[in-house]
Amino acid sequence: MDDSIVRLREKTGAGVMDCKRALTDAKGDFDAAVALIGERGLSKVEKRADREAGAGMIFSYVHNDRIGVLVDMRAETDFVVHSDPFKEAIREIAMQIAAAAPENVEALLAQPYIKDESKTVKDIVNEVIAKVGENVKVRTFSRIEL
């Protein structure tokens, strides 16, 4: 496999064929290919937005024995709920809630992501949607501080 396809796949999480197409369409320009995958991923996200996300996971996170977080995140199938991209995202979102104390889901999704402020939490959710091919939503959360 071409090194640039491997690098693009690692950076974006897109499939091999999507990476190959993006590099071809971008005439070999790596940064342009990253942008193309992002644009195409968003269109995939928009197509899935109306689909029911009925399967879910409630994840708990405790930070320094003084902040507790419960997050309810949903996907369309149980298979995706147990996938690594979903589990990684729910953990990251729980840590975001512990650190940034958003008031509600809308505020959470609009916040800059604490590990990369060029992204929002909504971008993180959209990246998971693009990787797993299903609608994913943060349904609700609770944050308790002692």
Per-residue pLDDT, 67: 97
Same domain, 69 and 29: no
Same domain, 122 and 66: yes
The ranges of the chain with pLDDT < 50 are: none
Same domain, 33 and 63: no
Per-residue pLDDT, 3: 82
Q: How many CA atoms are closer than 13 Å to the CA of 93, on its beta-carbon side?
A: 37
CATH, residue 15: 1.10.8.10
Per-residue pLDDT, 17: 79
Same domain, 122 and 70: yes
Per-residue pLDDT, 62: 97
Per-residue pLDDT, 18: 80
Quote the domain boundaries for residue 23: 3-48
Same domain, 79 and 96: yes
Per-residue pLDDT, 106: 97
Give the number of domains in the chain: 2
Task: Mark residue 31 as left, alpha or beta (left: phi above 0; alpha: psi -120 to 50; beta: remaining).
Answer: alpha
Same domain, 133 and 93: yes
Note the pLDDT tens digit of each residue in 35-47: 887 777 655 555 5
Per-residue pLDDT, 96: 97
Q: What is the pTM of this model?
A: 0.69
Same domain, 38 and 59: no
Task: Judge contact between 45 and 137, C-beta under 8 A.
Answer: no
Q: Look at the block and give the residue holding tokens 């990476």.
A: 19
